[in-house]
C-alpha cells in the first residue's frame, strides 16, 4: 500500500452520524480538519450539526487546533460522495454486519487507493467485515469510547486480510490527531476494553440480582473508589502500587492468593440472558439514580466533569514530566 504521511491528512470522511459519528465529526473539526459527513437517516444533518454545536464549548476549553471551524463540515447527499477526496474514513454505521456491508459496497469504488477505512464497531470482527471485499487489506478497527470528542482512547486492530502497514498507519494517524491509540494483537468479540467492562458489569448485575447492593450504591462504589484510581493508572499499575515498596512482586506473593479466594466465590458467567426481573431492578435503579434528570442533562454534567478531569490530568502530567 502506498500510504501518505499520517499527519498530512486534511480531510476525513465520517460515515453515519449518530452519537458516535457526530462526536467523531466534532473532534476532527476541532483538530482543524475538513469533515465530509454522510448519513441517509431522517434529519441526520440537523441532528449532527446540533450535536457539534453542543460539543464545541468543551472542545474550545480543551483547545482548538489552528484553523478549526464548524464551517469545515461538508454535508454530503450520500456516503460515496462523502469519501470522495477524503484522506481517511471513520465508519460508524449501526452495529449490524449487513448494514456495514451495504455501506462498504457504496464507498469502495469511490475510495482512493491509499485511504484507510476504520470502523467504530464496538464488537464486530474486522475479519468478518473485510471478507470478500476487493481491498480488504485497508480495513481496520478504530474503536473509540463515548464520547469520542472527549475520551482519548482508540482501540486499533486489523483483521485476517489487513495489511500490517495499515494498522501502523492508523495508530500513527490517531496519535497525530491527539488520540491515545492502543494496538490489539488479535481479534475477540467486543475487543479488549468492552470485555473488561462486561466482566465488571457481570459482577455488578450479580450484586443486584442477589440483593448484595443497590444499583446506586454499586455505581457510587466504582465512581468514588477504584474509578478514581483508574483515571490515573490502569488495573495492573494500581495493584503494583498496592504491593508497596515491593510492587507487583510483593502483591503476587502476598495479596494475590486472597483474590483467588474471591474468584472462587464468584458465579461462573451465565450463558443465558439477564432475567427480566433483574433487568427491571437495574432499570428502576438507574431511574432512581437519575433523580428526574434527562439523559441529555446527565451527559452535559458528565462532559463538563470530563473536561475538568482531562485538564487536571494534562496539567499534572506536564508538571511531573
pLDDT digits (tens, 9 = 90+) for 204-218: 999 999 999 999 999
d(CA 232, CA 243): 17
Q: Is 5 helix (H, G, I), strand (E, B) or coil?
A: coil
- Quick: pLDDT tens for 77-122: 899 999 999 999 999 999 999 999 999 999 999 998 899 999 999 9
- Which pLDDT does position 63 carry in this prediction? 96
- Quick: pLDDT tens for 236-281: 999 999 999 999 999 999 999 999 999 998 877 665 788 899 999 9
Percent of the chain with pLDDT over 90: 91
Peptide bond into 305 cis (omega under 30): no
Sign, CA dihedral 173-176-178-180, equals positive
Question: pTM for the complete prediction?
Answer: 0.93
Q: What mean pLDDT is reported for the chain?
A: 94
Return the top range by mean pLDDT from 109-113, 135-139, 316-320: 135-139
- Quick: pLDDT tens for 152-169: 999 999 999 999 999 999
d(CA 221, CA 204): 10
Overall average pLDDT of the 135-159 stretch: 97
Nearest-Å Rg of the Cα atoms of the chain is 21
Query: 482543524: which residue's cell?
Result: 32
d(CA 30, CA 59): 7
DSSP assignments along 155-208, one per residue: EEEE-TT--HHHHHHHHHHHHHTT-EEEE-SS--TTTTHHHHHHHHHHHHHHHH
Percent of the chain with pLDDT over 70: 99
Going from the C-alpha of 316 to that of each of 283, 304, 311, 312, the distances in angstroms are 37, 18, 8, 6
State which fold the 6-183 domain adopts: Rossmann fold (3.40.50)
The yes-or-no verdict on residue 147 having pLDDT over 70 is: yes
Burial of residue 129 (CB within 10 Å: 0-12, 13-18, 19+) is buried
The yes-or-no verdict on residue 35 having pLDDT over 80 is: yes
3-state helix, strand, coil in the chain (%, to 5): 55, 10, 35
- Which pLDDT does position 270 carry in this prediction? 62
The yes-or-no verdict on residue 307 having pLDDT over 70 is: yes
The yes-or-no verdict on residue 224 having pLDDT over 70 is: yes
Beta strands 34-38 and 73-76 are parallel
- Which pLDDT does position 143 carry in this prediction? 98
d(CA 73, CA 35): 5
- Which pLDDT does position 131 carry in this prediction? 95
- Which pLDDT does position 318 carry in this prediction? 83
Size of the chain, expressed as the number of residues it contains = 321
CATH class given for the domain over 193-290: mainly alpha
Write down the domain spans for the chain. 6-183, 193-290
Least confidently predicted of 126-140, 181-195, 265-279: 265-279
Residue 4 is placed in which grid cell? 501518505
Q: Is 38 helix (H, G, I), strand (E, B) or coil?
A: strand
276: nearest Cα among 220, 205, 198, 184: 205
Amino acid at each position: 500500500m502506498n500510504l501518505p504521511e499520517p499527519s498530512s491528512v486534511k480531510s476525513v470522511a465520517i460515515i453515519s452520524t449518530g452519537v458516535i459519528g457526530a462526536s467523531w465529526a466534532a473532534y476532527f473539526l476541532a483538530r482543524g480538519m475538513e469533515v465530509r459527513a454522510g448519513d441517509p437517516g431522517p434529519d441526520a444533518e440537523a441532528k449532527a450539526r446540533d450535536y457539534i454545536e453542543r460539543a464545541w464549548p468543551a472542545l474550545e476549553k480543551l483547545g482548538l487546533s489552528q484553523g478549526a471551524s464548524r464551517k469545515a463540515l461538508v454535508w454530503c447527499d450520500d456516503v460515496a460522495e462523502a469519501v470522495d477526496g477524503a484522506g481517511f474514513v471513520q465508519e460508524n454505521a449501526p452495529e449490524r454486519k449487513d448494514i456495514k456491508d451495504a455501506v462498504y459496497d457504496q464507498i469502495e469504488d469511490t475510495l482512493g487507493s491509499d485511504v484507510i477505512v476504520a470502523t467504530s464497531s464496538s464488537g464486530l470482527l474486522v475479519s468478518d467485515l473485510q471478507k470478500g471485499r476487493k481491498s480488504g487489506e485497508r480495513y481496520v478497527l478504530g474503536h473509540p469510547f463515548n464520547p469520542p470528542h472527549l475520551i482519548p482512547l482508540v482501540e486499533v486492530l486489523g483483521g485476517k486480510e489487513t495489511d500490517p502497514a495499515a494498522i501502523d498507519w492508523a495508530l500513527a494517524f490517531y496519535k497525530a490527531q491527539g488520540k491515545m491509540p492502543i494496538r490489539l494483537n488479535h481479534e475477540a468479540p467486543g475487543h479488549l476494553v468492552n470485555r473488561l467492562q462486561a466482566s465488571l458489569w457481570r459482577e455488578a448485575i450479580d450484586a443486584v440480582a442477589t440483593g448484595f447492593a443497590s444499583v446506586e450504591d454499586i455505581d457510587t462504589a466504582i465512581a468514588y473508589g477504584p474509578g478514581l484510581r483508574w483515571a490515573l493508572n490502569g488495573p495492573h499499575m494500581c495493584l503494583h502500587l498496592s504491593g508497596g515498596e515491593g510492587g507487583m512482586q510483593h502483591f503476587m506473593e502476598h495479596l494475590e492468593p486472597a483474590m483467588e479466594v474471591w474468584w472462587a466465590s464468584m458465579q461462573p458467567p451465565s450463558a443465558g440472558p439477564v432475567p427480566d426481573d433483574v433487568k427491571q431492578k437495574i432499570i428502576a435503579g438507574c431511574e432512581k439514580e437519575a433523580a428526574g434528570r434527562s439523559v441529555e442533562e446527565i451527559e452535559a454534567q458528565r462532559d463538563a466533569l470530563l473536561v475538568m478531569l482531562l485538564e487536571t490530568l494534562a496539567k499534572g502530567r506536564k508538571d511531573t514530566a
